[in-house]
Amino acid sequence: MTVPIALPAIVSISMYFFLNAMVTLSAVVFLVAPGTELAAVAVLLMDDAGDTAQAAAMSVLIIAIGLAVRFGYWALMRGVNRRTQAWLVSRGTGS
C-alpha cells in the first residue's frame, strides 16, 4: 500500500491547495457562480465600494483562518510523521 508512505505528501498538498484557494483571485473570479461570493472577492468588492474597514476586517479573518489551518496542519503532520517516519528514529542499536 502506498497511501501510508505518501500520506505526508498528500496532507501537504491538501494544505497548499487550501491556502492558495483562500487568496487566489486571478482565475477564480471568472468561475464564481451568481449568488456565490468568495472571501477574497468579497474583500475586493468591499474595498471598491468604499468599505475599507470591513475589507480590512475580512482580510484579517482570511489571515486568521490561514494561520489556524497552518497550525492544524503542523499538528497533523507531527502525528503523521511520527507514524509513517518511525524508521528514522534511532532505537539504540547498541553499537
CA 65 to each of CA 5, 21, 53: distance values in angstroms, whole numbers, following the listed order: 29, 12, 18
Q: How many domains does the chain have?
A: 1
Does residue 76 fall inside a structural domain?
Answer: yes
- Any domain includes 50: no
Owning domain of residue 63 = 59-83
Residue that is written with C-alpha cell 468588492 in the block: 45
Q: What DSSP assignment string belongs to 8-74?
A: HHHHHHHHHHHHHHHH--TTHHHHPPTT---HHHHHHHHHHTT-HHHHHHHHHHHHHHHHHHHHHHH
3-class secondary structure, 85? coil
In a domain, 63, yes or no: yes
Domain assignment present for 67: yes
pLDDT tens digits, the chain, 95 residues: what are they? Answer: 667 778 888 888 988 888 887 777 666 667 777 887 778 888 888 999 999 999 999 999 988 988 998 899 899 888 887 877 767 665 655 54
Q: Is residue 70 part of a domain?
A: yes
pLDDT at 40: 80
Q: Is 4 inside any structural domain?
A: no
pLDDT score, position 92: 54
Structural domain includes residue 78 = yes
Question: What per-residue confidence (pLDDT) applies to 12?
Answer: 87
Q: Is the dihedral of CA 49, 52, 53, 59 positive or negative?
A: positive
Look at residue 40 and tell me if it is in a domain.
no
Round to whole Å and give the CA distance between 70 and 19: 9
